[in-house]
Every structure is written in structure tokens, then in C-alpha cells.
Amino acid sequence: MGKNYQYYVEGEDEEKIVKVLKTELRLIEPGKIEKFNVVSEQFTNLRVMSLKMGTVVVLVFDTDAGNIDILKKNIEFLKKQKSIKKVLCITQVKCLEDELKRSCNIKDVKELTGSKSNSDFKHDMRKEKAFGKKLEKKGFDMKKFWIQTDNGIYKEIQNNSNEIKI
């Protein structure tokens, strides 16, 4: 029997990248994606009630903001749930744009989408239909993506990305 994966991502940008990595590029384990900022919102029983037995929960979050105490409470809460087999953390050091710059042959993220500016990048990425192809064109290397551990307030949170990479 295959594992069930439930991804909780910070926002639309992370939702887009996880969709591209699991569907278009098939580089991470498939699973459901839900927007939920685990460093600023707390989980409730209602939110996790629908998870299937044996679910692996994957928390994807930036390390440039948020509250480590809320994150720790969320991890502890999730670990106590009977339906959850494992809780994995994916630290984006410091943010998604930095991860993309480290894992592609680019200096600025705007190069990925041909955006006019770095601030236009997120909007352009979200509407891009073939973002995976754009990543590949710029030499995207999954071995360099989501591998760092933060040395700031999130330094005690281990990056478990290797457990979802295919």
C-alpha cells in the first residue's frame, strides 16, 4: 500500500512549486496540497480530522519570517494525531526565491519567467502553465533544492526534504 502525503504550504507560490515538482516534473512524492501557514497559524482537530490513517504530513515554510513557537506547537500537535504516521519539515532558507536561485543557473528569479522585475516574478510564476519546463531550461537541480537548514531561529528544525524526493 502506498503512502498518503499531505503537504501544508505557506501560500500560492509554494502551492505552485509543489504542484510542479510532484506533477509536471515528478520529483517529489505525490499528495494533496493545502495552503496553511504553519509558522503563523495553529492546527486544530477539525483541520486534520479528514486525514487518512498513515498519512505523512509535509510542512513547507520559509525561514525568513514566522514564529518558531507556533511551528513547534504544530509539530507536537501533529505528532500526537493517530492518523499521522510522520511529520516532515521542508525549510525554505530564507524563502522560495532563494531556493530557486540556489538550484537554477540564474542570478535573479525574474530570469525563470522572463519577468520585468523580481517583484513581478511571483505573479508570473503563478500564471505560468509550463513552469517545470522553464525550471529545466535554467538547469534546475533538485539535489540543490530544499537542502539547507536555517542557522537562525529555525536552526533546530531539521530539513527532511530527502524523504519526499523521488
Q: Per residue in 121-158, pLDDT tens?
A: 999 999 999 999 999 999 999 999 999 988 889 999 99
Q: How many CB atoms lie within 10 A of CB 161?
A: 21
CB 103 within 8 A of CB 144: yes
Q: Per residue in 106-116, pLDDT tens?
A: 999 999 999 99
pLDDT bucket at 2, cuts 50 / 70 / 90: low
DSSP code per residue over 44-72: -HHHHTTPPTTEEEEEEEESSSS-HHHHH
User: How many whole angstroms separate alpha carbon 109 and alpha carbon 121?
Assistant: 7
Q: pTM of the entire structure?
A: 0.95
